[in-house]
Structure 1
Amino acid sequence: MKRLIFAILLCLLASSAFAKEVVYVYNWSEYIPEQVLSNFEKETGIKVIYTTYDSNEVMYSKVKVLGGKGYDVIFPSTYYVNRMQKEGLLTPLNKKLLPNIKNMEPSLMNKPYDEGNKYSVPYLWGSTSLAINSDFVDEKKANTYRILWDSKYKGKVILTDDLREVFHIALRILGYSGNETDPEKIKKAYELLRKLRPNVRVYNSDSPKVPFINGEVTLGLTFNGEMYAAAQENPAIKYIYPKEGAIFWVDSMCIPKGSKNVANAHKFINYIMKPEVAKLISEEVGYPSPNKAGVALLDKSVRTNATIYPPLSIIKQGEFQLDVGDAIKVYEKYWNLLKSGK
């Protein structure tokens, strides 16, 4: 009996010790294959506690309210990396714990928003641009964001639930940079977006492919990966790079300042940077990988698909999002007015 009790106690202690090996991951919705998470758990013995968000604003607000606590790995977009590190919400990465960083594409590293990648490592990159259902929208006329304002598409337009992206298209139409900081120019963009409101059916950054597939919307501003997936179900759904240029972004892996499992967070980030893991993520999710070694493993049909990997000429025509500093407060003011119908 004593031996049985002793064995049970040993099991309980082992189970308790194992349970402590966790990593809390907070990521965008539908942004990583389940297989990647389960394989990481099998390989490391670290349990992944996984939750999702549908916008940078939601993620940022939650992390800020918690003082950087509660999560171990987060995935902010380009300009939010800069903003969060300035506000002391991120902890510096220990490169010695990230040997797989050697696999990353140099052109996507050491950017102004995080020089030397002190706080971030790219996870995926991609674009936000115009998408249409060609059964209802003339592809020849969809070479400009202006088509979204056409009255024939009343209640048929989808926009991302992202203030910077939505304002970006209006700013570009007006001839300004999508990274504009002038309050007057941002106001002009808001006035233009007010005229678009009757056409907008939904703001969706969670799973925008669903309204397209269901026929709820026929055109809009959305992500390349989502439209790549949507086109697999309905080839009439097309992703287009209009003359004003696409929005380009990088989503990065960061460790919040209050992380309680920093070592496990580094193990998770390093695992994601394995070439075979990066390949699987890019194939399943439909976004381009910043992992040079991983891209080399991709099937040619994926590497040459312009929706996922646009040619350099398209990239040069567009803009990567940058931090706009205090001007974000101006954007937020007009965004709230826009969403409230004022």
Structure 2
Amino acid sequence: MKKWIASVTTLLCCLLTLGTFWPKTTSAQQQTLNLYIWSEYIDPDIITAFEAETNSRVVVSLYESNEDMVAKLQGGGVSQYDIVVPTDYIVPNMLELGLLQPLNKDLIPNFSNLGEKFVSLPFDPENTYTAAYQWGTTGIGYRRDRLPEDFERSWGLIFDPEQQVGPFVMIDDMRSMIGAAAIYLGFDMNTTVPSELRQIQQLLIETKRRSAGLIGGVGGKNQLVSGTANVAIVYSGDALQAAEETPEIGYFVPQEGANIWLDTLAIPARAPNPELANRFINFILEPEIGAQLSNYNRFATPNAAALPMIEPEDLENPAIYPDEEILAKLTYSSVLSGEEMRLIDALWTTVKSS
């Protein structure tokens, strides 16, 4: 009987000890990072590596435009997601709406790996809220097998009915699309002059009626791959990914100029797991991971420490890393005031509903 009592006592002690540690183990296993990101914009192996390093689980949700992302955050997503990936121009508007929280730089020592051209930019001067993720251009993807060899590398391929060669698609990206029309008309890409905006609006409406529609994110790339479109306004890396699937696809920055953009990593104001979010940003900024990311999605890296590990053919490709001649023709979307944004929003709403 004494042996039996001793055995039961020992068992109870073991159970109590296990109970003491069990909640901590379960909690660690159940850490979840909710990542809200553009389609096809991160190597799944990077996510797997982060999960293994942090003993966490990453849940990925997708969007196709900055405006969709902001609307989702305003609709309650600000307390559902831990990481979002906004483009430079939308960050000030997100801050005005109270949608982002400051980064914890103590948890992001790899922030120092970013190149000097990609920090302290006007949309977030102290990098209080954002860290650079990837950068690229918005230009024209096309089917080499369906266009004449001597076609003009111009926005006219989209905006001039006489230069149109078969079906084409526009991109559902407000600032890029309005900026492209502005450049084609000879205006500043970031114009908010009412008389110029009216001309831009009319051009976009007329162009949309000839097009196969406005498609967000990787939609234009997919239209080129499937052959549904001969020409599409696309992001640089998407076109290069498409060319891997279909070598007949090419990409160029129009001779008139185009939009250069920087996508960033940011943490929503009421993120469920901000500590893990900061650790994720630090992970992405590791040199090896930064190189792996850009080698995967064919966009340019802002991570200076990653450059030696970028595929040599990509570093030499002006469609990914533009030369000085092309860079001189590229313009960032500027930070607009609330009133200026209302003008742009009204223009875009009219175009999309026409």
Range class of TM-score, shorter chain: over 0.9
The 1-side partners of 2:126 and 2:41 are apart by: 25
Amino acid at match of 1:304: E
8 Å Cα contact 2:157-2:163 kept in structure 1:
no
Quote the residue 2:252 is aligned against.
240
The residue that corresponds to 2:201 in the other structure is 190
Q: Residue 166 of structure 2 contacts residue 230 of structure 2 at CA under 8 Å; is this kept in 1?
A: no
Aligned equivalents of 2:139, 2:126: Cα separation in 1: 29
Pairing 1:301–2:287 present: no
3-state SS of paired residue (2:80)? coil
User: What SS class does the counterpart of residue 132 from structure 2 fall into?
Assistant: strand
Write the distance in 1 (CA, Å) between the matches of 2:260 and 2:199. Answer: 23
Distance in 2 (alpha carbons) for counterparts of 1:188 and 1:204:
22
Which has the larger displacement, 46-55 or 11-20?
Answer: 11-20
Structure 1 unaligned regions, length at least 5: none
Amino acid at match of 2:252: I
Q: Which residue of 2 aligns with 1:319?
A: 331
1:333 aligns with 2:346: yes
SS of the aligned residue for 2:67 comes to helix
- The answer to whether the Cα contact below 8 Å between 1:129 and 1:222 also exists between their aligned partners in 2 is yes
- TM-score, with length taken from structure 2: 0.90
Pair 1:49-2:59 in alignment: yes
- Runs of 5+ unmatched residues, structure 2: 1-7
Say if 1:158 and 1:202, in contact at 8 Å, map to a contact too.
Answer: yes
Aligned with 1:95 (options 91, 105, 109): 105
For residues 340 and 154 of structure 1, do their structure 2 counterparts lie closer, same or farther at Cα, with a shift above 3 Å needed? farther
Q: Look up the match of 1:219.
A: 231
For 1:65, the equivalent position in structure 2 comes to 75
Distance 2:21 2:128 in 1: 41
Are the counterparts in 1 of residues 33 and 56 from structure 2 also a CA contact under 8 Å? Answer: yes
Asked if the contact 1:180/1:324 (under 8 Å) is kept, the reply is no
Maintained 8 Å contact 1:25/1:50: yes
The DSSP-based 3-state class of the residue aligned with 1:184 is helix
- Where 1:140 maps in the other structure, the secondary structure is coil
Q: Comparing 51-60 with 191-200, which one deviates more in the overlay?
A: 191-200
Give, in angstroms, the shift of residue 73 of structure 1.
0.9
Q: Contact 1:183–1:327 (CA<8 Å) still a contact in 2?
A: no
Distance between the aligned counterparts of 2:98 and 2:163, measured in 1? 47
Whole-Å separation in 2 of the counterparts to 1:97 and 1:250: 22
Equivalents in 1 of 2:156, 2:242: separation in Å?
Answer: 23
Deviation at 1:295? 1.4
Residue 290 of structure 1 is matched in structure 2 by: 302
Deviates more, 1:321-330 or 1:260-269: 321-330
Paired with 1:171 and 1:156, the residues of 2 have a C-alpha distance of 22
Q: Within 2, Cα distance between the matches of 1:229 and 1:95? A: 33
- Residue by residue over 1:250-300, the C-alpha shift from the partner in whole angstroms, topping out at 9 and shown as x without a partner, is 000011111121111110000000011011110111100100111121121
TM-score normalized by the length of structure 1: 0.93
2:38 to 28, 31, 34: 28
Q: Which of 263, 274, 292 in structure 2 is aligned with 1:262? A: 274
**Contact 1:155 1:198 (8 Å CA) reproduced:** no
Q: Secondary structure at the match of 1:308?
A: coil
State percent identity of aligned pairs.
28
- Between the two proteins, the alignment pairs up a number of residues equal to 341
